């Protein structure tokens, strides 16, 4: 009988410890997410506009007209995905996701569709989302390591 009580006590202590760690890592993820937004805005390439009329893009049969004053780097926002197995995914996203893909993976040669970007060669801005993601992941890993060490000591 005492063995069952001891097992239950250990089990519930571990659950509480796990919940505490998860809550702290969740807070850190939200904090890093807030840091990512200005990082990705700063890393985003900026298009040189040759004319003042709205930019149109034709993709799969429909035309999208860019709103006046709307710039790619200003369309980044904080995003939180639905829970997967109880864990949230935190990050940033751009409202023009298709353009994000084209720029990040260096697909801007397509018929000059994307135009001229501020003196950058195509290779200089390729992977800018990946660079920000890697920096955020490294910072997150450091903070998680610190949380675990603090919990272990305490």
DSSP string, 11-38: HHHHHHHHHHHHHHHHHHHHHHHHHHHH
Structure tokens at 15: 């659950």
Please say whether the dihedral angle defined by the alpha carbons of residues 66, 70, 72 and 76, taken in this order, is positive or negative: negative
Q: How many CA atoms lie within 13 A of 55 on its CB side?
A: 15
CA 88 to CA 79: how far, in whole Å? 10
Of 71, 48, 70, 49, nearest in space to 119 by CA: 48
Segments of the chain scoring below 50 in pLDDT = 51-55, 61-63, 65, 68-69, 109-113, 116-122
In this prediction, residue 108 carries a pLDDT of: 55
Which pLDDT belongs to residue 144?
Answer: 92
Mean pLDDT of the chain: 75
Determine the number of helices (DSSP H) and then strands (DSSP E) in the chain: 4, 4
Burial class of residue 25 (count of CB atoms within 10 Å of its CB; 0-12, 13-18, 19+): middle
* Residue 134: per-residue pLDDT: 92
* Contact indicator for 110, 14 with CB cutoff of 8 Å: no
| 105-141 residue pLDDT tens | 766 544 444 554 444 444 556 788 888 999 999 999 9
Whether the CB-CB separation of 105 and 126 falls below 8 Å is answered with yes
C-alpha of 13 from chain center: 34
Place of tokens 């639905």: 82
């Amino acid at each position: 009988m005492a063995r069952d009580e001891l097992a239950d006590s250990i089990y519930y202590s571990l659950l509480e410890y796990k919940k505490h760690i998860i809550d702290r890592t969740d807070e850190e993820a939200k904090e890093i997410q807030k840091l990512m937004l200005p990082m990705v805005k700063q890393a985003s390439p900026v298009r040189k506009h040759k004319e003042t009329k709205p930019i149109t893009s034709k993709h799969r049969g429909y035309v999208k007209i860019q709103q006046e004053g709307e710039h790619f780097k200003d369309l980044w926002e904080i995003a939180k995905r639905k829970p997967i197995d109880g864990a949230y995914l935190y990050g940033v996203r751009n409202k023009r996701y298709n353009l994000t893909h084209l720029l990040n993976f260096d697909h801007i040669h397509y018929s000059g569709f994307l135009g001229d970007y501020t003196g950058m060669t195509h290779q200089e801005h390729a992977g800018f989302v990946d660079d920000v993601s890697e920096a955020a992941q490294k910072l997150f890993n450091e903070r998680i390591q610190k949380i675990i060490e603090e919990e272990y000591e305490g």
